[in-house]
Structures are given as C-alpha cells and as structure tokens.
Amino acid sequence: MRNSLVTALVACADPPLKSEARRFLAGLSSDELLFIAEFLGWCVLESQVPCACNRAELAERIARFQQARADREKKWSTDQAHKMIVLLEYLCRSGVQERGMAAGAGRASVN
C-alpha cells in the first residue's frame, strides 16, 4: 500500500518537481502518506472551493480539512499538528497548489 500511495502522490506533482516530491514522500510513514492522500481527496470533493495558491491559504484550507476530520472522528491528537506540517510541506514541494489541488488530485487517478 505504501508504494501505491507514493506513486499516486508523485503523480499529483508538477513534472519538474516529481523527483523532489518522491524523495520527500519516501521519508514519510504510511500514516502520513494516507493523510496527504485523504486531503487531496477532500479537495476533489470540495472542488467548488477556489484553489489556494500561497502558504497562508494552504494552511487555512488544511485547518478546515483538519476540523472536518476532527468533527467526524470526535478527537484531536498531537499527531495531527505534525501531519498538517507534513502535508503543507508536500503541497509546497510538489507544486500541487500552483495548478489547483483538485485538478492535480484528479489527474493522479488517470495516470
């Protein structure tokens, strides 16, 4: 499952950033990879929300995602803050936010 997640997430990255994204993702746990994939899936489902194109907008979008998860799961762990940082770093290193997260996430399922 871990290799499949890495492959799918690398497919979301902009072509010139794929190798950097792969190196970054290779150091993450399966749980962290799953968290990133879940966020990209949430972006597809919430595609009416405009693309976030800077770190501050991304952080706000990630916080909304986390709140939706916390409401659904009725819990918040200290691990969640770490995952938010990892997710933000992936989004910035992969270029996903620059071309639209929903479009990028959708493209991964086609490749």
* 19-45 confidence digits (pLDDT tens): 999 999 999 999 999 999 988 888 877
Give the chain's largest Cα–Cα span. 39
Query: What is the count of structural domains for the chain?
Result: 1
pLDDT tens per residue across span 59-70? 888 888 888 877
Q: Is there a contact between 14 and 75 (Cβ–Cβ < 8 Å)?
A: no
Taking the C-alpha atoms of residue 85 and residue 25, their distance in angstroms, rounded to an integer, is 13
pLDDT given at position 55:
75
Taking the C-alpha atoms of residue 1 and residue 33, their distance in angstroms, rounded to an integer, is 10
pLDDT tens per residue across span 56-99? 887 888 888 888 877 766 555 667 778 888 988 998 888 876 54
Range of the domain at 103: 2-110
Please state the pTM of the whole predicted model: 0.70
Tokens standing for residue 53: 């194109």
Which DSSP string do the residues of 51-69 spell out, in sequence order? PP-SHHHHHHHHHHHHHHH
Taking the C-alpha atoms of residue 54 and residue 50, their distance in angstroms, rounded to an integer, is 12
